[in-house]
Amino acid sequence: MNAMRPGELRERCPAVLAFVDEATNLFKPDTVIWCTGSKAEYQYLLRAMVKTGTAQWLNPELRPNSVLVRSDPADVARVEDQTFICSVSPDDAGPTNNWSDPAKMKANLRELFDGAMVGRVMYVVPYSMGPVGSPIARIGIMITDSAYAAASMHIMTRVGDTVLAALGTGTDFVRGLHTVGVPLKKATWADEPWPCNQTKYIAHFPETREIWSYGSGYGGNALLGKKCHSLRIASAQARDEGWLAEHMLILKLTNPEGKSKFIAAAFPSACGKTNLAMLVPTIPGWKAETIGDDICWMKFGADGRLYAINPETGFFGVAPGTSNESNLNAMKTLDANCIFTNVALTEDDDIYWEGMGKEPPAQLTDWLRRPWTPSAGRPAAHPNARFTAPAAQCPVIAKEWDDPAGVPIDAILFGGRRASVVPLVSEALSWRHGTFLGSIMASEKTAAAAGQIGDLRRDPMAMLPFCGYHMGDYFRHWIEMGEKGGETMPKIFYVNWFRKSAEGKFLWPGYAENSRVLKWIFERCDGTAEAIETPIGKLPADGALDLDGLKVEPSAMAELLKVDREGWKAELPSIKEHFETFGAKLPQGLAAELTALEQRLG
Q: Are 174 and 138 within 8 A, CB to CB?
A: yes
Distance, CA of 498 to chain centre: 20
Distance CA 115, CA 390 (A): 34
End-to-end alpha carbon distance in the chain? 67
Cross-strand partners of 126? 141
Q: Say which of 271, 296, 467, 525 is annotated catalytic.
A: 271
Closest CA to 517 of 495, 499, 548, 490: 495
Distance CA 60, CA 273 (A): 29
Q: Quick check: helix, strand or coil at residue 546?
A: coil
Q: Are 419 and 498 within 8 A, CB to CB?
A: yes
Alpha carbon dihedral 543, 548, 550, 551, in 10-degree steps, equals 80
Q: Is 467 a catalytic residue?
A: no
Distance CA 69, CA 551 (A): 41
Q: Quick check: helix, strand or coil at residue 371?
A: strand
Angle at 320 between CA 54 and CA 394, to 5 degrees: 85
What DSSP string runs through 136-183? T-EEEEEEES-HHHHHHHHHHSEESHHHHHHHTT----EEEEEE-S--
Distance CA 355, CA 512 (A): 16
Closest CA to 401 of 295, 552, 558: 295
Q: What residue type is assigned to position 444 of the chain?
A: E
Q: Are 598 and 447 within 8 A, CB to CB?
A: no
Element (H, E) at 121: strand 121-129
Sign of the CA dihedral running 460, 463, 465, 468: negative
Q: What residue type is assigned to position 311 of the chain?
A: P
Closest CA to 100 of 221, 173, 201: 201
C-alpha count within 13 angstroms, C-beta hemisphere, residue 450: 14
What DSSP string runs through 172-230? --EEEEEE-S----STTPPPPSS---SS-EEEEETTTTEEEEES--SHHHH-TIIIIII
Distance CA 439, CA 475 (A): 7
- What are the residues whose beta carbons fall under 8 Å from the beta carbon of 404, sequence distance 6 or more? 130, 131, 133, 134, 135, 136, 137, 309
Q: Which residues are catalytic?
A: 271
